[in-house]
Amino acid sequence: MKRCTVRKNTAMNRFSNMFRAMLLPVVALVASGNVGASSWSIDGFGTLGVVHSDEDQADFTSGLLADEGAGYSDQWSAKVDSKVGLQLSSNFASKFRAVLQVVSEQGYDGSFDPKVEWANVSYELTPELTIRVGRTILPSFMTSEYRKVGYATATVRPEPEVYNLVPITNSDGVGITYQKRFDEITNFLHVSYGQKSTNLPDGFAMDAKNALTFANTLEWRDTTLFAGYSQTDLTVEVLNPVFDGFRAFGPDGEFIADQFDLNDTTVRVISFGGRYDPGDWFVSGEWANNKSQSFVGEHQGWYVTGGVRVNAFTPYLTVADMRAKGDLSHPGLPNPQAEPLNEILNQLLSQNTSDQSRVAIGVRWDFAPSVAFKAQYDRIDLRRGTRGVLSNTQPGFEGDEPVSLFSATVDFVF
C-alpha cells in the first residue's frame, strides 16, 4: 500500500536544517578567499524544494548521481531539487577571465558538501573566438549552461527523459566557443574535450575519458535551434569481475563480455532542441539518443513544453517520453555453472532499461524580484515493468502502476 501521511513540522525542520547545512559550507568557502570588489563579481542562485511521491518502493531523485529522493526513502523529500550555488568571476587581465562556480546539492553519498562545478580560465583570442582551460561546462543539451539554475526555466527541473541521458554536467579539459553574427542571426559553436571521474551511489565509480562534444546554438529573433553530438570512452570498473567471469568460459563467454561490458566503451549522444518565445507564450522541446555497445544499451527521450505568461503567472504543460531499444534480458551461457553470472547480467539489463511516458502540469509565479515559486504535478506511466527515471528500487517494486509526483520550489538568483 502506498504511504500518504507526513508530519509537517518534522519535515519542515529537516528541510530548514538541511538548507543551513548546504548554505554555510558554500559561504565559508567563498569567505575564505580574498575577493576584491574592484576585480571580482559574485553571483548566486538557489532552490528550496520539496517533492512528494506516492510510490513507496522506489525513489524519484534529481538524477543518476543522487543517493535518495521522494518515495521509498521519504514520502516528502527536500533533497531532490534543493541546491545553492555561488559563482565568482574576474576579468583579471586584458582578454583573460577566470570563473569559479561552487554548487551544494545532494551527492552520491547523500551529503550536500559543496563541489566545484566550474573552475576555468578563458582567453579571448578574437572578439568571436574564446578558449577555456580547466573545469568547463559539458554542453550536451540546449539548457546545459543553466540546467542547475531553477530560476532560469519555467518548469521545476530539467526534463529527466532527456537530461538523465547525460548526468555529467562538466569535464576537465579545454573548451572553445566561436560566436558569429549574420544580420539578425547569431550562431554559437561550442567544442569541448576532456575527462571526468564521477562517484555513483552503491559504490559505483564512472570514468569518462576522451569526452569530445560539439554543440551549436542558432538564435534568430524569437527562435532558438540547438544541435549537439558527443562521444565518450566510459568505464565502470566495479563490473569488470562479472565480465571476466564470462570470459573464463571461452569464446561464447568472451562474446557476451565484449557485447555488454562497460570498460573503455564508446558512448555516443545525439541531441536536438528548439524554442520559440515571442514573450506572451513559449514552446520548447528536445530530443536525445544515447547509444553504446554495453549493458547500458540505447535509450532515447524527448519532451515538449508549452506555456503562457499572464502577468506574474506562467502556467505550463509538459509531455515527455523515454524508452529503451532492445530486449530486457539475454539468454546468457547455457552452462549451469554460469547461471549466477547470467542472473547478474539480466538484472543489469533490466535496471538500465527505462520506458515511461510523463505528463506534467504546473505554474510559475514570479512574486518578487529575482524570486519565483513553482508548483508542478507529474504523472509517470511506466512501461514493460521498468523503473523509468526512478531509482533505489526495492524488492516489492513492480512498475505496473502510474506514479504521481507533487513538487513545490522557490527559486532565486542574486
Q: Which DSSP string do the residues of 63-130 spell out, in sequence order?
A: STT-S--EETTBSEESTTT-EEEEEEEEEEETTEEEEEEEEEE--TTS----EEEEEEEEEESSSSEE
What pLDDT, in 10s, does the model give residues 327-365? 666 777 888 888 888 888 887 777 777 899 999 999 999
Q: How far apart are CA 132 and CA 17, in angstroms?
A: 37
Q: Are 230 and 166 in contact (CB under 8 A)?
A: yes
Q: What is the percentage of the chain residues whose pLDDT exceeds 90?
A: 66
Q: Mean pLDDT, to the nearest integer, of 80-101?
A: 94
Q: Is 103 within a domain?
A: no
Q: Is 4 within a domain?
A: no
Q: Mean pLDDT, to the nearest integer, of 394-412?
A: 94
- The boundaries of the domain holding residue 324 are 49-78+119-413
Q: Is 63 within a domain?
A: yes
All three cell numbers of 212, joined, read 569530445
User: Which residues does 186 contact at the CB level (< 8 Å), separation at least 6?
Assistant: 179, 180, 218, 219, 220
Query: What count of residues does the chain have?
Result: 414
State the average pLDDT for the chain: 89
What pLDDT, in 10s, does the model give residues 175-206? 999 999 999 999 999 999 999 998 877 667 88
Is the per-residue pLDDT at 60 higher than 60? yes
**Shortest CA distance to 397 belongs to which of 28, 46, 58?**
58
What pLDDT, in 10s, does the model give residues 122-180? 999 999 999 999 999 999 999 999 999 999 999 999 999 999 999 999 999 999 999 99
Q: Is 38 within a domain?
A: no
Q: Is 30 within a domain?
A: no
Query: pTM for the full model?
Result: 0.87
**Shortest CA distance to 148 belongs to which of 113, 186, 102?**
102
All three cell numbers of 352, joined, read 538500465
Q: What is the CATH number of the domain that holds 210?
A: 2.40.160
Q: Is 373 within a domain?
A: yes
Q: Which element (helix H / strand E) includes 404?
A: strand 403-413
Neighbour-count burial for 252-282, b at 16+ CB within 10 Å, e otherwise: ebeebbeebbbbebebebebbbbbebeeeeb
pLDDT at 9: 41
Is the per-residue pLDDT at 16 higher than 50? no
pLDDT at 30: 45
Exposed / middle / buried, residue 176 (Cβ in 10 Å: 0-12, 13-18, 19+): middle
Q: Residue 112 to residues 26, 55, 83, 139: CA-CA distances in angstroms?
A: 10, 24, 8, 24
Q: Is 57 within a domain?
A: yes
Is the per-residue pLDDT at 312 higher than 80? yes
Domains held by the chain: number:
1
**Cell numbers 513540522: residue:** 9
Q: Is 236 within a domain?
A: yes
Is the per-residue pLDDT at 255 higher than 60? yes
Signed CA dihedral, 11, 361, 312, 143: sign only = positive
